[in-house]
Structures are given as structure tokens and as C-alpha cells.
Structure 1
Amino acid sequence: MSSESLQAGRQGSTWLKRWEPEDPAFWDSQGKALAWRTLSITTANLTMAFVVWFMVSALVVRLPNIGFDLTGSQLFWLTAMPGLAGGTLRILHTFLVPIYGTRHVVTLSTLLLLLPMIGWFFAVQNPETPYAVLLGLAFLAGLGGGNFSSFMPSTSLFFPKRLQGTALAVQAGIGNFGVSIVQFVTPWIIGFALIGGLAGGPQVATGAERELWLQNAALVYVPFILAFGLASWFLLRSVPVRANFREQLDIFKLKHGLLMTVLYIMTFGTFSGFSATFPLLIRQLYGDFENAPDPLAWAFLGPLVGSVMRVVAGPISDRLGGAKVTQVSAIGLIICVLAVTFFTSPTSLDQFPWFVAFMLGIFFFSGIGNASTFKQMPMLFTPRQAAGVIGWTSAVAAYGPFAAGMMLGLSVSFFGTPNAFFYWAAIFYTACLAINWWFYARKGAEAPC
């Protein structure tokens, strides 16, 4: 075989020779099946990425109970570190798919998730693990956060514009379920020995006779990460939309790219930030009462609501237009984030249901906005630019857990209440409401979408 033929064979195994989703004949004959298969596989991998990214939020509320001597500020920093890493790594992921292709990027980035999972598996079994090591492992958990900025742009390339709102909402919404999965499964999976005790011994919770196997919270996902990563290598292919790093930098010259980044901070920054900090907020605000609520018994509901609404709002945004739905999202966020401040200095557990209700309202409206903003972006840019803008906006908004963890910690330290952060959020949401209305939602807007 000649070197030219060998190279062609290698190219054919990864890069599709033709991809024209806007051509109805091509889409019906071969595009649709491959696009939905790709969506299914990458969504499964994205779900594992969110599991890894938010695993720390499920672990930190248990660490003080098993002998880790950590202050409230240190716990908030542990929840913030995956957000710092996720946002930073998303910047890198923004540019990967047009260079290396869907198949290579999804496979390698999924298998790298094994690093933080194995690290946490060992770390939680020793209460003497240095805080610096815990911070490093929390940062590594951000590998899961980075994947979003390559997986989602890849999906936008596989679908015609008329279906991109639905496809992106389905993938992101189901992927976001990873947050609820890790927060819901953790309390159950740490209650018994896995593999007949071969996965390590138990820890004894402080002030109780109950034994915990906290390492299970990381170990249980390892087989799924391996399976989904290998499936990506054998079943995925890459769309022949290619550009080097320098060519992709043109997205930073786009005015609407900057504006959509601000709007996505409002939606996904809110979702990711509160997903990471919701369990700790419950513990800090309501944990001193007798019969205090278990944070993880309630916290998973927030990401669950946000994820469901992202899936639901995708088709609605395709039908009504993303800008109108984003407007509803912003109004709802302003109302809920102000209302929750009335229940952050509780005098009894009677206020807890109201606190949870308005927090779930924040997740509800952020989920709607997550879907609608991803409908707006493909309508504003060319396919390659839209993929880049989706990746970049996702990268910036992924700093949500870091920003929320840090700012909530500072608010509590300085004022004894998280309300300062909530007030700042309300001001920011109001600015986003004005931006979306002026440029996209009003009659005669510059770029209706």
C-alpha cells in the first residue's frame, strides 16, 4: 500500500468525507442516523464528565464527619476549585474539535476522567491527607468541566440549524443530569462495602456508630468512564469542518459573541455555581438545627430541575425563538434570587421549605435559559464560528462554581450571611435582561434570534 493510500485510510477512519446536514436529501439518507448516534454517545460521556466535575460538591459535606479537620472557608474553596479548573480547561477545549476531530477529543478527554476518580478514591480513606492534596484533586475534577466546551460545539456541527436548539438542549440537559446523579447516588453508595470489601475499609462518622465507605462515591463510576471512552473510539467519527488555532481566533472579534457570553454566564454560570454550592449552603444555613436536613437529600433536586428544564426548553426555543425564552429566564432569576434572601438567616426549620423552593426556582429558570441561549448562538454565526462561540461562552460560564464558591465564602465571612452575593446576582441578571431585550428580543432588534 502506498503512503498516500495509507494516509487516506487513516483519514477515512476518523474524518467523514462529506457532511451537509442542511441538504434535506443528505440528511434523510445518511446524516440523521449518524448525527443522533453521535449525540447519544457523546451525551453519555458528557454525563460522566458532569459526575466527575461535581463529585467534590457531594464529598465535601461528608469530609468533616469522617475526621477531616477543615474550616468552612476551606470547604467552600474545595467546591470552588473544580469550577476554576473547568473554566480554564474549557478555554482549551474550545479549539480542539476543528483541529483533532470529535472522535479523538471525546475519547481522550473521557479517559482522562479516571485521574481524579482514582485520586479521590485513595484520598478520602485517609483523614490525614494534606489539604493541598485535596485542593489538587478538586482541581483535577475540573477535567470533567472542560469537556463541555468541545462536546457541545461538536454536536452543533452534526445538526442542521432548525434542530440545533433541540439537539444541544437534549445533550446538555441529559449531561447536566450528571450533577443530580452524583449528589443523589453518593448518600446511598457510601453506605455499604463494594466488591466484598476489596475496595477498602469503612470510615466511622463522628458522633455516630454508622460506617461509611466514602471511596465508593468515586469508584462506582470508573467502569462507566472506561466503557463510554472505548465506545467513543470505536463508534464516533469527525465532521470535516477544520481550522487551525489562529483561524479560530476570529470569534473574539464578534460583538454578539461577547454579548452571548454575558448571557450564558447568567444561565449556565448560575446553574453550575449553585449546583456546586447548594449542598454546602444547606449545611451552613440549616445544619445547626436539631434534626437538620441532610444536604444531599435535597441538593440533587436543584440540578435535576435545571436539567429537565433545559431539555424541555430546547424545542420551545426552536419554536418561539431563543431570545423570547431568555427574557423569561432573566425575569424569573431576578425574582427568585431576591426572594431567597428572606430565608438565609433562619430561626427555625419552618423556613427551610421556602428556602428550597426559591433555590429550585433559580435552577428552573437557569435551565430554561441554558437551552434558549444555545438556540440563539447558532442563529447568529456561521457553523464553525457558532461552534467556537458555544465553546468559549461555555468556558467562561464554567467559572460559575469557582465564582460562586469564592464569593459565597467571602459574603459569609464578611457579613455572616450569603445575601450580599444574592444581591449582586440580582443586579447582574437585570443587566442581562436589558442586553437581551435591546439586541435580540425587542421589535426592531439588531439581531433577532
Structure 2
Amino acid sequence: MTAPAPAPPRRSGRWIEHWDPEDKGFWEASGERIANRNLWFSVLSEHIGFSVWTMWSVLVLFMGPEYGLTPADKFLLTSVVTLVGAVVRVPYTFAVALFGGRNWTIVSAALLLVPTIAAFAVMHPGTSFSTFLWVGLLAGIGGGNFASSMTNINAFFPLRRKGWALGLNAGGGNVGVAAIQLVALAVIGASGGPRVLLGIYIPLIVVAAGCAALFMDNLATVKNDTGAAKDAAKDAHTWIMSFLYVGTFGSFIGYSFAFGQVLTNQFGRTPLQATYLTFIGPLLGSLVRPVGGRLADRYGGARITLWNYVAMAAATAALVVASLKQSMPLFVTVFIVLFALSGLGNGSTYKMIPGIFQAKALAKGLEGEAAMAHGRRLSGASMGLIGAVGALGGVGINLAFRQSFLSYGSGTGAFVAFLAFYGVCFAVTWAVYLRRAAGQAVTTVAAETKPQLSYAEV
């Protein structure tokens, strides 16, 4: 006689043992409601994480001459914070499968107390620059929340809804950049200091961790797959998409850290005057990210990404002109447009990831659930790497501004470099994801053969 299959292990806590979002019956009966609930509380935790990660973009504006830091010191400080935020995204990606999405959201949210309390303790004149650097390193862990949140939410939603869900999750998190700048504006306007700002966020972190504990779930179907991680790392598309994500998210996070410093150093704005303007760009860039995902769902992520890079290059060229002419109205207007475009591109590029690996699964002859499982396996593993490399673009932007101010006394040299980079991103998107598709369509019509792998709709 055949022995009965062992019962699945019963685990304490909010664990869901069966999850199949591609089954429309399951999705409509209960899956959509559960997925949306986890999405909203994931957004809350990621939102606070982004605020903590980017808090130094605001804190450096509080740090006047009495702190003894040069503009180059401040750009270096924000570069270090960005770097750590990029690096920790890799382990945060795998933590979801190791501990459970709900469990890790609780832990990662609670960990935000460490850099916030540390910054509260050292934020006063007389603290050494090296101390600020070490505390800035701690703040970098806020950048990891994005990777674990995106990996978790990616598992909750069906492929047909991933563009919108991932865009909404990331966009809601990205709003944390604008939120902390708005809170800083209120604090400065009320003649408060940086410790007041930090004191506001300490209870918010506790709320985020508590909500994750009360309302989120773990998916037992999400498991760490070291083979998938190795396969994703070996796949050329993981690194191509990482490069493209440098151009979109790297721009967003890098400009978020640097915008206020450029206004104060190049245009002589006071911290209060700069803060009145700096929140607008990150806010728009965050709000349009779900729109980028939705447009990618409808028209294909590659097409939206391609033309988005054209627009980003045009905006950057206008920034070069504004910087050379020292025209602050033109500079601020175009910079805000560039923020919005980076957010739009964030949504379209991230939508491409699951689509690419799904297309590869179909090209291998897989069908149905097998193709879906293969696509989820590799796309989930690749997201951590792509998110980490993309965030490194923020490091490059801050270092480019640092060197530009050291060499030329303005950000013009950095903008010229960014313009060239967006041109390369456009060329890569077209060559890899659109040129091949157009060529194959012609070949298919002429030869009446089965079309080969195409990424035009990803």
C-alpha cells in the first residue's frame, strides 16, 4: 500500500500554505482581497524605510557653517548612505523567503529605529565628520526595505496585475522621499531643529512595525532558491535590466539626495528656500510610478522605457542650458520634469522584469503553470540584484555632482555626463528589446515560420 503523504507542517503566525493568484477563481474569491491588504501595509513600511534612507538629504540642509562641513563633504556623506542602501538590497531580497514576508517586514521596520535614534544622538555641531559617516552608514538599511517589499508583493499578484501592483508598491514607498522633505519644511518653518524631525519619525516606525504584525501574511509558497539566484545572475537580461534601472531609479534616488544641495550651493538658496522646492520632484516621481507600470501593462514596458529615455535626455539637455545661464526658474522646472520622468521609467522598467522571464519560459516550450512558475522563479530572484545595482546609480550621481562642484563650481559637468548616459540607455533598450522584435516580424511574414523570442511586449 502507498503510504499517505505527510501533512504540511503547521506553523505559528499568519502563514498561508496555498497561494495561486493565476487561478482566476481563487483570485476573485479571496486572493485579491488578501493581496491588496498585504500591499497597503507593505507600502506603509517601505514608505517609512525610504524616509529613513533619504533623511540625510534633508539633515545636511540643517548642517550650516557651524558643523564645519564643505559641499564636497555633504555629497560624500549622501553617497555613502546611498551605497549602503544599494548593497543591503541583496540580502533583504532573500530574507522574505527565509523568514516570511510578514515576519521580515516587522523586523526590517523595527530596525529603522537604529539609524534614527543614532542620528538623533549625534546631530549637533562639534560631531566629527567620521561620526556622521558611520551614522549615515546605518541609515542605509532603509534602502533595503524596497527590495524585500517588492519581492514579497511580486509573489502575491498574478502576472496580468504585476505592473500596477509593483508600481503602486514602489511608488507609495518612493513618496517617503517627498514626505520627509515636507516634514522637514514644516519643522524648519516652525524654527525647529533636526532632532525634532527625527523625533517625529521614531513613533511612525513603531506604527509601521505594529501594522505589519497585525495585518500582513507570510506565503509558505515563497522559498529561497539558490539555484534561481545563480540562474538569474548568469542571465544577461538581469544585468541589462540592472543597467536600465540605474538610469531610472538611480536617477530618482540620486537626484532626491542631491537636489537640495545643488540649489543651496549653485543658486545660493537657504535651507528653507530649498526645501520649499525639493519635495515637489520626488513627490511627482513617486506618484507617476504606478502610471509607468500601467502604461507598460498596456503598451509594453520596452516601448515606454525607450521613449522615456528620449524625454529624460531632452530634459537633461535643458538642465545643462539652465545651469550655464544660471536660470533658476528654468532649472527647477526642468528638474521637476526629470524627476517625473524617472518615476515613470521606474514603473515601466520593473514591469519588464517578470515579462522577460515569462517570455523566456514560453520560448523554452513551457506552457501554463510551468511557464508561470519558471517566470516567477527567475524574476523574483533577479529583482534583488536589479534593485541593488539600480540604486548604485544614486551613488554615481552624488559622486558626479561632488566632482563637478570641485572642478567647475557647479553641477553642469555632471549633467553633461548624465545626458550621455541616457543616450546609451536608449540605445541598449532599442537594440536588445525592440530592434530584434521588429526584425523578427519581417522575417516571420516573409518565411511564414513561427516567430522567435520577442520582448517587444514585456
User: TM-score, normalised to structure 2's length?
Assistant: 0.87
Equivalent residue for 2:273, pick from 275, 291, 294: 294
State the alpha-carbon separation in 2 of the partners of residues 385 and 7 from structure 1.
25
- Which residue pairs with 2:9 in the alignment? 8
Any residues of structure 2 matched to 1:160-309 within 5 Å, and which? 160-192=158-190, 211-239=191-219, 240-245=221-226, 247-287=228-268, 294-309=273-288
- Which residue pairs with 1:54 in the alignment? 54
- Which residue pairs with 1:114 in the alignment? 113
Aligned to 2:43, what secondary structure does the other structure show?
Answer: helix
Query: Which range moved further: 396-405 or 55-64?
Result: 396-405
- Which residue pairs with 2:422 in the alignment? 429
User: Does the 8 Å contact 1:95/1:248 carry over to 2?
Assistant: no
- Which residue pairs with 2:312 in the alignment? 333
Structure 1 residues 238 and 156: alpha-carbon distance in aligned structure 2, compared to 1, 3 A threshold? same
State the alpha-carbon separation in 2 of the partners of residues 128 and 191 from structure 1.
24
Structure 1 residues 220 and 341: alpha-carbon distance in aligned structure 2, compared to 1, 3 A threshold? same
Shift of 1:427: 1.6
State the alpha-carbon separation in 2 of the partners of residues 225 and 362 from structure 1.
30
Equivalent residue for 2:347, pick from 371, 383, 396: 371
User: Does the 8 Å contact 1:99/1:245 carry over to 2?
Assistant: no
State the alpha-carbon separation in 1 of the partners of residues 258 and 232 from structure 2.
32
Shift of 1:170: 0.6
User: Does the 8 Å contact 2:43/2:170 carry over to 1?
Assistant: yes
Structure 1 residues 292 and 385: alpha-carbon distance in aligned structure 2, compared to 1, 3 A threshold? closer
- What do the CA deviations read for 1:180-222 (whole angstroms, capped 9, x no partner)? 0111110212455xxxxxxxxxxxxxxxxxx532201111011
Any residues of structure 2 matched to 1:309-324 within 5 Å, and which? 309-324=288-303
State the alpha-carbon separation in 2 of the partners of residues 257 and 302 from structure 1.
29
State the alpha-carbon separation in 2 of the partners of residues 163 and 6 from structure 1.
32
- What do the CA deviations read for 1:229-281 (whole angstroms, capped 9, x no partner)? 12212322222121244542221111211111111111100111101100001
Aligned to 1:169, what secondary structure does the other structure show?
Answer: helix
State the alpha-carbon separation in 2 of the partners of residues 415 and 213 from structure 1.
32
State the alpha-carbon separation in 2 of the partners of residues 140 and 154 from structure 1.
23
Higher helix share: 2
Shift of 1:346: 4.7
Shift of 1:8: 3.1
Shift of 1:104: 1.8
User: Does the 8 Å contact 1:56/1:79 carry over to 2?
Assistant: yes
- Which residue pairs with 1:28 in the alignment? 28
User: Does the 8 Å contact 2:302/2:455 carry over to 1?
Assistant: no
User: Does the 8 Å contact 1:287/1:293 carry over to 2?
Assistant: no
Q: Equivalent pairs: percent with the same residue?
A: 32
State the alpha-carbon separation in 2 of the partners of residues 156 and 375 from structure 1.
10
C-alpha root-mean-square deviation of aligned residues, in Å?
2.0
- What do the CA deviations read for 1:286-341 (whole angstroms, capped 9, x no partner)? 117xx897111101111011112112222221111111110121001111111101
Shift of 1:148: 0.8
State the alpha-carbon separation in 2 of the partners of residues 332 and 60 from structure 1.
31
User: Does the 8 Å contact 1:190/1:216 carry over to 2?
Assistant: no
1:34 maps to amino acid: I
State the alpha-carbon separation in 2 of the partners of residues 31 and 361 from structure 1.
37
State the alpha-carbon separation in 1 of the partners of residues 302 and 115 from structure 2.
38
2:252 maps to amino acid: F
Shift of 1:14: 4.2
State the alpha-carbon separation in 2 of the partners of residues 178 and 6 from structure 1.
43
Shift of 1:414: 1.7
State the alpha-carbon separation in 2 of the partners of residues 292 and 130 from structure 1.
21
Shift of 1:45: 0.5
- What do the CA deviations read for 1:22-42 (whole angstroms, capped 9, x no partner)? 000111111111100000000
- Which residue pairs with 1:196 in the alignment? none
State the alpha-carbon separation in 2 of the partners of residues 131 and 388 from structure 1.
37
1:329 maps to amino acid: N
Shift of 1:133: 1.2
- Which residue pairs with 2:369 in the alignment? none
- Which residue pairs with 1:70 in the alignment? 69
In the alignment of these two chains, the number of paired residues is: 419
The reply to whether residue 354 of structure 1 matches residue 330 of structure 2 is yes
1:261 maps to amino acid: S
Shift of 1:171: 0.9
Shift of 1:438: 2.0
State the alpha-carbon separation in 2 of the partners of residues 279 and 259 from structure 1.
31
- Which residue pairs with 1:90 in the alignment? 89
- Which residue pairs with 1:413 in the alignment? 406
State the alpha-carbon separation in 1 of the partners of residues 165 and 242 from structure 2.
20
2:36 maps to amino acid: W
2:382 maps to amino acid: V
Stretches of structure 1 that go unaligned for 5 or more consecutive residues are: 193-210
Structure 1 residues 222 and 292: alpha-carbon distance in aligned structure 2, compared to 1, 3 A threshold? closer
